[in-house]
Amino acid sequence: MLPEPVKVVLDFVQQVNQNNAEGVAALLAPDHTFVDLAGDTEQGYQRIAAGWRDYLTQFPKYRLYIRRIVLLPIGVALIGQTTGSHLQIPDEQEFNDEGVIWLATVEHGLLKTWQLYADSVVNANALNLEGGQEIYAPVWFARTIAKHLDLLPPGSRTDDVRNVRKYYSRLYRKAPPETLLEIAERLFFEEGYRFVPYELIYYHPGTIALLNPEKVQALSVDINHWAAADTFSQFISGPTWKQGVISDDLIGKWIISPDFWYRRIAVVSTIYLDGDSERMLKYAAMLVDDHEDMIVKALSWVLRRAIRYDRKGVEQFLADHKHRLAARIKREVRNKLDTGLKNPTKN
């Protein structure tokens, strides 16, 4: 539950983001004071309400994105970014280069003051942000992360996306795992992202344990690419299986699914059981007759990984299933056994 002043301030931001000038005006106190980045002050309800109407009319795409909320003795501090402002610069430049601290005070359910500061270490220290109470608002934070990802340049690589995830993992490192899970779920279900929410869950201590079979299943919806399947296996299904959040029953359901992506997830998840060669070989054996390309490649991968833990077991597996395994699997796994490489360079 958010503190009441925070609710009021976020409602105000919501009205701004919806380009609702009347909604903004309705939340201003009669003696409202506005202070801009330059320190210039405006006072009086009518004057400031008119200013907001003019601004939102002139810049209808103006949006505020909140990444932190701190409750201070002097008010509510929001830290974030904007796009679509009077700066009239590209959104990615404004979002990445023009951070803002908004300090608001609330009285009788209305905004008494709204003051802007540049997001700098000097201003953060002057406001003693680190001494305040950190407030977590997952729906707002998920929107900000989504916008950050939206604004990555075309052609951005996995490392670029991962750097965004690492930034927010650090930013919310002290947040309860329940908070990180909600941020990730909103980022997945409402904002349409997959890789970042999976990693947010995996890398935040205690969050994997909050999942259950229903949540795990829900996080697997619409997987239709090997990268999505393997990312899910690495960061969600494998770790939850290892921790006992999901059981062999769910994996058993997936391994016989008519959807080959679930069959791939089931067998690839065994890689992330940290050396459980018995289950690696058990579930691989259930797919020896499955010659779907994505399954053939997955079986080769799992068997090659299993060599680390049970070389003799893999050799026996090849012998037991030599007439049923795809040629690619036999070739790549045998190469790995003999040379340590999947595809040794030919002389």
Residue by residue, what is the 3-state secondary structure of 134-194?
A: EECCHHHHHHHHHHHHHCCCCCCCHHHHHHHHHHHHHHCCCCCHHHHHHHHHHHHHCCCCC
Q: What is the pLDDT of residues 191-214, one digit of tens each?
A: 999 999 999 999 999 999 999 999
Q: What is the pLDDT of residues 134-166, one digit of tens each?
A: 999 999 999 999 999 999 999 999 999 999 999
- 133 and 70 in contact (C-beta within 8 Å)? yes
Q: Does residue 244 share a domain with residue 154?
A: no
Q: Does residue 328 share a domain with residue 234?
A: yes
**Please, what is the average pLDDT of the chain?**
98
CA separation for the pair 101, 120 (Å, rounded): 8
CA separation for the pair 244, 253 (Å, rounded): 16
Check residue 345 and give its pLDDT.
76
Non-local (6+) Cβ contacts of 266 within 8 A are: 251, 252, 254, 255, 257, 283
Q: Does residue 163 share a domain with residue 121?
A: no
Q: How confident is the model at residue 115 (pLDDT cuts 50, 70, 90)?
A: very high
Q: Whole domain around residue 337: which residue ranges?
A: 212-347
Q: How confident is the model at residue 339 (pLDDT cuts 50, 70, 90)?
A: very high
Answer with the one of 210, 235, 255 that is the final residue of a domain.
Answer: 210
Question: At which residue do the structure tokens 């750097």 appear?
Answer: 163
Helix (H) or strand (E) holding 328: helix 327-339
Q: What is the pLDDT of residues 50-103, one digit of tens each?
A: 999 999 999 999 999 999 999 999 999 999 999 999 999 999 999 999 999 999
User: Taking Cα atoms as reference points, which of 165, 154, 168 lies closest to residue 80?
Assistant: 168
Check residue 244 and give its pLDDT.
98
CA separation for the pair 283, 78 (Å, rounded): 50
Domain count across the chain: 3
CATH number at residue 26: 3.10.450.50
